[in-house]
Structure 1
Amino acid sequence: MTRALFAATALAAIMLAPAAASARTAFDGVWLFDKAPPMPGVTMMEVTSRGTRIEGRVTTLWYGPITMIDPRVENGRLIFDARNINDRDHPFRRWSVSLDKGQVRLQGQIWATEVDATGYRGTAKAAKARAFKVAPLPPLGAPIASRLAATPPMGWSSWNRFAEHIDDETVRAMADAMVSSGLRDAGYRYVNIDDGWQGRRDANGVLQPNDKFPDMKALTAYVHARGLKIGIYSSPGPRTCAGYEGSYGHVAQDARTFADWGFDYLKYDLCSGEWFYPNADTVKRSYREMGAALQATGRGIVFSLCEYGRFEVGSWGRDVGGQLWRTTGDITDDYETMAKIGFERNGDPDHAGPHGWNDADMLEIGNGGMSLDEYRTHMTLWAMSASPLMMGHDLRRTTPEMLALLTNRHVIAVDQDPRGIQGKAVRKDGRIEVWAKPLADGRVALALFNRGTDEASFALTAADAGLRSISQVQDLWSGATAAGLPESYTVPAHGAVMVAVRGG
């Protein structure tokens, strides 16, 4: 190469270098989405590039900014991965962006939701207007002391039967039915509104109920006038599980609103908060933020933590102000799901006791998906586990058989025993399980479960109760008493026997 040619080549390289470094992809800029589906609620995409380095994010109403992971252009499409909430089987999902006639098509998946949205170019001013406002979490403070819920809360919740299709009229009807059926007098006190009541925030950020709930103060007064208490629902994320307004960025404000309306109970469901709070530290801090806010209102509001049993919640639920904490995902009205939760996912017994309870989720009794024997097992398991007893059926349609299960005073007394010990399995033999729960009056409750599909005969012993001998046996379902245990019990498939024994 001649000296002149070398100089010309070097000059060309110098002149081209800045251009290459500032090269932009066709996807660079701000893209706005006005008609994206509400879940996850895509509002904007921002892409910048410099040379081969591409950065970007997708802004959503549910999950805030979703950062593009390893974005690159392949075959005319922008390809990137995105974190997929807490799905351990699929922690990342592949997304793609294509261009057509000046518009972009964004396709991907988050959790179980498919995203397919079309957007158009926007301005920096529009991007500023649509920017998600990130709410910082306070540090994890000192444990919050509470004397609420000395025994597991009992009541009714709207979700299992009505999902988000709940309204003021139905809540009032449930309160009336709880009184007229005798459920209130049996110990059920809370009438809880789950997801679906929320409207929009006003100019001051105060959350308003939607049109289905015209006057929250009037509703709470109606329930209170019947000798009952009333609960409400929210989420630490921007959206609840059904897509309504969550408490993200408005935690203290919402706590004051709930107290001002007259609520006595809050279920706080992680939902879209899964995105913002993916580890133990952030989940604890998010729940303590609301626990402290509820305490600051000065009103005694029972705090129900619903984060599906993650991060050994029973070991810290009390510290963040909780009186009960879910140990599992959602229950459904079938024996397999109920049994898996009740036998295997009902929490560490060492975490349960007065003012703090492992919550195995709501009762399905009365919704029709299980047999009478299976529902008896359901009630027996929850009572032996000292789990909250929150009914989930339409109280106006409670059959006599279901009412008898739900109001059995001997079984309820085991659940509500002031000693607050959570029962547990003491013996297993194939599909048979024997559980024991010491009671405050010195007796021991024993439950004999048949998890098999055929009738089985099995004997209980004094040793099952930790006793040398037995002087009295009470069948808790029938109320009948005897001086000793029978030779064996015949237990129907998926059925249960429940007794209380006293040492001799």
Structure 2
Amino acid sequence: MKWIIYFFTFLSFGLNSQSQETALLPKINGPRLYGARPGKIFTYTIPATGAEPLKYEVLNLPKGVKVNKKNGVISGVIKAPGEYVINLVAQNQFGKTSKSFTLVIGDKLALTPPMGWSSWYSFGRNVTLDKVIRSAQIMKEKGLQKYGWSVIEIDDPWTNQPAKNDPIWEKLKLKADGVYGYYEGPDNLPERVGSVRNSKGELIPNKFFTNIKKFPAIMHEMGFKAGIYSSPGPLTCGGVAGSYGYEFVDAKFFADSGFDYLKYDWCSYGSLAKNNSKEELIKPFRLMSDALQAQKRDIVHALCQYGMGNVWEWGNESGGQLWRTEGDVHDSWQSVRNAFKKLSDKAVYVKPGNWNDPDILQIGAVGAQSSGKAGKNHLTFEEQRTVMSMWCMLSAPLLIGADMEQLDDATLSLLTNEEIIAVNQDALGKAASLVKTSDNTEFWTKEMEDGSLVLGLLNLSNEERNVKFPFSFLQLDGSQKLRNLWTKVDLGTFKDEFETAIPAHGIVMLQLRKSN
């Protein structure tokens, strides 16, 4: 009996050593392409894992673009439209690797879903610039950047709130019947009350964000992109100053400061909209999109309007690249389940530069939007794995909501599986659809650029179950090669069906390839 134990101990040690050795080697992650507009400033950080220090090189860079060999940031301006094929190189003391990469210079941004972090579920209304910068530092220290997590977004409330006697509070009480509008105040943020714009018409940051203009440069130096928040209304949801009437001023302020991403939240604009028509819903977002496109740098425009008017049908007409399809999601099974189930039949509206957004990932320590401080997640670990899986299957934007100060190894493992992230970042840009429901199990499929099929087997029951997957459910014939993407294990070749155990509210993600 002892020799069996010794054999498996030796085998396990060998596999662990091999795994550790592989982890030391450089590996370039992320999508195979990136979109920018002609004549606009853009940045892209090469996401690469491996033992530090890593050195970067890019071959065949077009004129006007450079690479920082220490942090892998590609930046510059390309004037002529076209597809520029370059070669990314990462090297350390253990080896060297390369990857073909295409800069697509045209009229589309966000050719793959944006990835990053947002302050809202971490800090809510208690957000400060120092907290955001510290969160970015932890993300870098923990290696999240190496997997493509790049946007650091300051959410509500970073500007000042108008005084209680400001006439805007009375004006906003007058609104059309049936039009949704939400804002807080005037008494909810006493420490953030003050003048809202300077003599140039620029937004004045509140006392917790006095160095807001320096924030993008700090992020860029760290290899991140800088994200910011505003509203098309006079007030944000939290009740501080928005962009109404100053859209071009604010767009210039964001671009001149160096921001790369704008979350634009409907909020108090509901008091100004005439009705719920498509034209009225598009109007404020189109105005800001035009203002952003007139600036010197690319800024991704993220619409936040909770799915009103079937936004997935017309979001691209607004000039934005992604749009919220639901109200705020929370760390409960029913909330996240409703968010992704709503998108089960809307894959037709998803393509590169057009992303349905079910909201920020409910993974890790969240909940600050309600309590003021992030805490224990009310989803089980398996439910959180399902959230990550379904957001990736749906080609949804991936914005981490977790408080980085409370980041644990379990949460980190959900955010650093490059094979799962690759499903989200696939260049084909298709979203998964629900193709079959059988015996309390949902079968979701997503087509990949390489011709493979990703299948999500989702157990809706409250207990672990063995699930059979007959290939006939997907009209597949012959034998199929299966790979488990979470465990990164090739399962072998199967004929006719596959069976596996799935935890309660858990998911198994498989990549299928037809066997020759």
Pairwise same-fold verdict (TM > 0.5): yes
Paired with 1:275 and 1:306, the residues of 2 have a C-alpha distance of 16
Q: Deviations over 1:410-444 (max 9, x none)?
A: 11000111101100111102421010001111110
Aligned to 2:126: 165
- Aligned-partner residue type, residue 330 of structure 1: D
Paired with 1:192 and 1:408, the residues of 2 have a C-alpha distance of 22
Paired with 2:217 and 2:474, the residues of 1 have a C-alpha distance of 46
| Secondary structure of residue in 2 paired with 1:311 | coil
In the TM superposition, residue 346 of structure 1 has moved relative to its aligned partner by: 6.4
Q: Deviations over 1:139-172 (max 9, x none)?
A: xxxxxx8321010000000001211211111111
Residues 327 and 346 of structure 1 are in contact (CA less than 8 Å); yes or no, is this contact kept in structure 2? no
Aligned to 1:188: 149
Q: Is 1:314 the counterpart of 2:325 in the alignment?
A: no
Equivalent of residue 343 in structure 1, options 333, 341, 344: 341
Equivalent of residue 326 in structure 1, options 324, 342, 351: 324
Residues 233 and 242 of structure 2 are in contact (CA less than 8 Å); yes or no, is this contact kept in structure 1? yes
Q: Deviations over 1:349-396 (max 9, x none)?
A: 111110110001000100222111110111111111110110001123
Equivalent of residue 429 in structure 1, options 434, 438, 455: 438
Question: Which structure is higher in RCO with an 8 Å CA cutoff and minimum separation 6?
Answer: 2
Map 1:211-250 to 2 at 5 A: 211-250=207-246
In the TM superposition, residue 311 of structure 1 has moved relative to its aligned partner by: 1.3
Aligned to 1:292: 290
- Aligned-partner residue type, residue 128 of structure 2: D
- Aligned-partner residue type, residue 311 of structure 1: G
Gaps of at least 5 residues in structure 2 are 1-105, 161-195, 366-376
Paired with 2:443 and 2:344, the residues of 1 have a C-alpha distance of 16
209 and 457 in structure 1: CA distance in 2 versus 1, 3 angstrom threshold: same
464 and 421 in structure 1: CA distance in 2 versus 1, 3 angstrom threshold: farther
190 and 282 in structure 1: CA distance in 2 versus 1, 3 angstrom threshold: same
Equivalent of residue 369 in structure 1, options 378, 383, 386: 378
Residues 146 and 321 of structure 1 are in contact (CA less than 8 Å); yes or no, is this contact kept in structure 2? no
Residues 446 and 465 of structure 1 are in contact (CA less than 8 Å); yes or no, is this contact kept in structure 2? no
Aligned to 1:408: 417
In the TM superposition, residue 465 of structure 1 has moved relative to its aligned partner by: 4.5
Aligned to 2:176: none
Residues 282 and 317 of structure 2 are in contact (CA less than 8 Å); yes or no, is this contact kept in structure 1? no
- Aligned-partner residue type, residue 178 of structure 1: M
User: Taking every aligned residue pair, what percent have the same amino acid on both sides?
Assistant: 39
What's the TM-score once normalised by structure 1's chain length? 0.69
393 and 289 in structure 1: CA distance in 2 versus 1, 3 angstrom threshold: same
Aligned to 1:357: 355
Residues 326 and 358 of structure 1 are in contact (CA less than 8 Å); yes or no, is this contact kept in structure 2? yes
Aligned to 2:513: 502
487 and 346 in structure 1: CA distance in 2 versus 1, 3 angstrom threshold: closer
Equivalent of residue 270 in structure 2, options 271, 274, 277: 274
Paired with 1:193 and 1:282, the residues of 2 have a C-alpha distance of 27
Paired with 2:218 and 2:308, the residues of 1 have a C-alpha distance of 36
346 and 216 in structure 1: CA distance in 2 versus 1, 3 angstrom threshold: farther
Structure of larger gyration radius: 1
In the TM superposition, residue 455 of structure 1 has moved relative to its aligned partner by: 1.7
What's the TM-score once normalised by structure 2's chain length? 0.68
Aligned to 2:396: 387
327 and 297 in structure 1: CA distance in 2 versus 1, 3 angstrom threshold: same
Paired with 1:152 and 1:314, the residues of 2 have a C-alpha distance of 15
Paired with 2:491 and 2:440, the residues of 1 have a C-alpha distance of 27
Residues 470 and 484 of structure 1 are in contact (CA less than 8 Å); yes or no, is this contact kept in structure 2? yes
Equivalent of residue 249 in structure 2, options 242, 246, 253: 253
Aligned to 1:148: 109
362 and 345 in structure 1: CA distance in 2 versus 1, 3 angstrom threshold: same
Paired with 1:191 and 1:458, the residues of 2 have a C-alpha distance of 39
| Secondary structure of residue in 1 paired with 2:216 | helix
How many residues of Structure 1 are paired with residues of Structure 2 in the alignment?
A: 360
In the TM superposition, residue 464 of structure 1 has moved relative to its aligned partner by: 4.2
| Secondary structure of residue in 2 paired with 1:248 | coil
Gaps of at least 5 residues in structure 1 are 1-144
